[in-house]
Amino acid sequence: MHLRPDYRTTARQRRWAGLAAAVSAIGALVAALLTWVKFGSDFRCDVDFLSGCSRFGDCSRVFASGPSSFFEVPVTAAATAFYVVATAVQLSIAFDRRWFYGVERELAGLSGWVTLYASIAMAAYAGVVLHTFCIYCSSLYLISIVYCAAAHGSTGTRLAEMLMHIGRLRWLGTGRGMRAGVLATALGMTSWSAEAFVYDVGRRTANPGEACTVDITDIPPPALVSLGGENADVVFHEVIDLACGHCRDQWQELHEIVGNSAGRVRVEYHLFPREPGDQYRCAPRGFEPDASSQLNQSCYAGLALACAAKTDPKRANRFLELLFQLQERRAPPFFEPAHVLRAALEAGLPVSADNPASSDLGRCIESDEEVFTLMYRTVKFAMDQGIRSTPRLYAVRCTGGACDTAHAIQVQGAKHERFLESLAARMLGGPTTNADGSRP
């Protein structure tokens, strides 16, 4: 038995369709909100739950991964477009109209299973490939489950029959099916294009200098790792946690900016492991830890980097790169001592391949009070400044070695590369527009 396009909807189907329309409308609003928040995390100076690694949740790996964007627009914009189409389809059933040429129920059933399978695929990708799960994305997963159930109710058919009919997709080859498909696609593309246009306009007009200037009474304690010219005109002080995915992403972007600045920009990295470590070697008692940092042994990795900077500063940059690579290559915990010491050996640090724990670096990690003191100072600075998430960047202008900390620009959370490039250009006194008149 096939679904007939001239079938009149029942009161029960219309009630289910009304519920499905409400759920899909909520889905569109939630997806649009996440798109806006993602814009703020990329192009504004403040921090939010998508741009900062904090103990309240870490979506860094999910929103920094390749599938999170589509044509440089967050994939949540596509989710908004999908739910806009789904809302229109369900409203057509609820009001017993034929806006989609009589194949509304087929579209409703198909949309229910598409959103469910898409959510399962995204959740599986986050868990299996990225080794994480974004708690804020779970709202969309829940919406997809409820919508699938309501969409099934709006079709008025048995589950097995609906699956068989949708699976054949023969109705798409009919005249009504093709017209409905073109209409649904046009509506979805219009919604996506409008959101992409607004997103692009916002990106081009965002000014990283607005509302970002702060007066800091002190700059972070001496950096463990630095890159760039000693007499740079602009210094980026970056407070990072090695277990933070956003810190890894911004580290790559800052390296590109420094490499293209001809020595006029320097970046200095200050460690803020969001866990106290064994015997509180990285933070004082009472420090509120982050579960992810504790799981990944961020304190141990930070002590190893501090010891590397003390032992051989020239190789510390390479060691930092290898530590961040452990985030990408390994499932949690990232920084087990054996893996950290193996990375140190690869960086050329004084580590014995036969017994790395007994090497100079291993002994420093376990017992160097000077390193412990430096880590304490950085954590205290972060606590005094109210830092609760990473990364945190302070951009400071310098002249002849003297830096103006009273007019530093504070950036909370990881930002899009274009944001940081524009910020560096403005602080260096460079052009604020491109040749075509657009903002850099």
Collect all residues with Cβ–Cβ distance below 8 Å to 429 and sequence separation of at least 6. Answer: none
pLDDT category of residue 1 using cuts at 50, 70 and 90: very low
The residue count of the chain comes to 440
pLDDT category of residue 395 using cuts at 50, 70 and 90: confident
CA nearest 38: which of 191, 199, 222?
199
CA nearest 437: which of 230, 242, 204, 270?
204
| 79: pLDDT strictly greater than 80 | yes
Structure tokens at 220: 């972070």
| Residue-wise pLDDT tens digits, 10-45 | 888 889 999 999 999 999 999 988 888 777 666 665
Among 105-114, 209-218, 303-312, 313-322, which stretch is predicted with the lowest mean pLDDT? Answer: 209-218
Q: What is the pLDDT of residue 46?
A: 55
**What is the Cα–Cα distance from 156 to 9, expressed in whole angstroms?**
8
Neighbours of 3 (CB within 10 A): 18
**Residue 434 burial by Cβ neighbours in a 10 Å radius (0-12, 13-18, 19+):** exposed
pLDDT category of residue 6 using cuts at 50, 70 and 90: very low
Collect all residues with Cβ–Cβ distance below 8 Å to 230 and sequence separation of at least 6. Answer: 266
Per the listing, tokens 């724990």 go with 357
Please tell me whether the overall predicted TM-score, pTM, comes out greater than 0.85 for this model: no
| 151: pLDDT strictly greater than 70 | yes
Q: What is the pLDDT of residue 209?
A: 42
Alpha helices, H only, 44-157: 60-64, 75-94, 104-124, 138-155
pLDDT category of residue 305 using cuts at 50, 70 and 90: very high
| 397: pLDDT strictly greater than 50 | yes
Among 14-23, 234-243, 293-302, 409-418, which stretch is predicted with the lowest mean pLDDT? Answer: 409-418
Q: What is the pLDDT of residue 215?
A: 52
Structure tokens at 123: 């959740």
Structure tokens at 289: 């830890």
| 331: pLDDT strictly greater than 80 | no
| 86: pLDDT strictly greater than 90 | yes
| Residue-wise pLDDT tens digits, 196-249 | 888 887 776 655 444 455 555 567 777 888 888 888 999 999 989 888 877 888
**What is the Cα–Cα distance from 414 to 422, expressed in whole angstroms?**
14
| 271: pLDDT strictly greater than 70 | yes
Q: What is the mean pLDDT of the chain?
A: 78
| 416: pLDDT strictly greater than 80 | no
Question: Domains plus CATH for the chain?
Answer: 11-205 (1.20.1440.130), 213-427 (3.40.30.10)
| 3: pLDDT strictly greater than 60 | no
Q: What is the pLDDT of residue 27?
A: 93
**What is the Cα–Cα distance from 283 to 80, expressed in whole angstroms?**
43
Q: What is the pLDDT of residue 433?
A: 34
H/E element, 401? none
| 51: pLDDT strictly greater than 70 | no
Task: Give the pLDDT mean for 390-410.
Answer: 80
| 439: pLDDT strictly greater than 50 | no
Q: What is the pLDDT of residue 84?
A: 94
46 phi, psi to nearest 5 deg:
-85, 175
| Residue-wise pLDDT tens digits, 121-141 | 888 887 777 766 777 778 888
Structure tokens at 378: 């950085």
| 7: pLDDT strictly greater than 60 | no
| 2: pLDDT strictly greater than 50 | no
CA nearest 40: which of 219, 276, 210, 181?
210
Q: What is the pLDDT of residue 206?
A: 59
The top-scoring range by mean pLDDT among 31-40, 167-176, 413-422 is 31-40
**Residue 99 burial by Cβ neighbours in a 10 Å radius (0-12, 13-18, 19+):** middle
Q: What is the pLDDT of residue 89?
A: 92
